[in-house]
Amino acid sequence: MATQGTNITKASVINTFTANVRTAIRNEIVWDSGNNPNSPNSRSTVSGGLSGQVTGGLQTGSPSAGESTSGLPGSVVDASDIWSLFVGYTNYYSRVRKVRFRIRYRSDSGYTTDFDQTRVTSLSGSYAQSSISNPADASRPDATESIDASDLDTLTTYLKNQWNTKRDNTVSVLPDTCHSSCHSSCHSSRGRR
């Protein structure tokens, strides 16, 4: 990670993004392909469940944009290269967002909500959101200026805050289903006809 008083290298630039943005985003993921309301250990399961309801399904709990120094060309890296690379990575992580999953069961008296939670999860790429907006002059490094560790921290803080806003654009998955006792009653009565 880039620190005050040291030379900034390509690796320290990537490490700063990893520490200030990627790790913070990954730490917010609650549901993933192995831990979600349709998991075998959950109290409510629905055929198809959350992963079946969300096109492309849930992803693993630790997505990666493939951060590496190969995204920084040449031997001298300018601020616009860093900006472009970090915005690309942050846009990739915009697929990590809140999902509201509600299960309602139909009964004779209407619908009963059995499960209704909203959690952060990593979705497939089709759920990535629109581009990160340009920051104020104080956050975006000018391509003609030198960049220091403090500038990198300011930039990554800005990008993490932009992601926070996008994270809260909630995807809703609201399946309705027949209650299991009703379902078995229906099927047993059909068999006796």
Residue 100 resides in a domain: yes
Nearest 5°: CA angle at 93, between 87 and 95? Answer: 125
Residue 103 resides in a domain: yes
pLDDT tens digit string along 96-110?
Answer: 889 888 877 787 788
pLDDT tens digit string along 149-161?
Answer: 888 888 889 899 9
Residue 33 resides in a domain: yes
By residue range, what is the domain housing residue 169? 10-192
Statement: residue 119 has pLDDT above 60: yes
Of the candidates 38, 59, 40, the residue with the CA atom closest to the CA atom of residue 101: 38
Residue 4 resides in a domain: no
Residue 1 resides in a domain: no
The count of other CB atoms within 10 Å of the CB of residue 89 is 22
Residue 92 resides in a domain: yes
Q: Which of 7-11, 129-133, 154-158, 175-179 has the lowest mean pLDDT?
A: 175-179
Rounded Cα gap, residues 12 and 1, in angstroms: 4
- DSSP H helices, the chain, are 10-17, 23-26, 49-53, 79-93, 149-167, 180-192
* pLDDT-derived band at 77, boundaries 50, 70, 90: confident
Q: How far is CA 115 from CA 18, 53, 100, 173, in A?
A: 35, 15, 10, 11
Residue 97 resides in a domain: yes
Beta bridge partners of 96: 122
Domain count, the chain: 1
Rounded Cα gap, residues 161 and 39, in angstroms: 31
Rounded Cα gap, residues 158 and 151, in angstroms: 11
Please compute the mean of the pLDDT values over residues 41-55 and round it to a whole number: 46
Residue 128 resides in a domain: yes
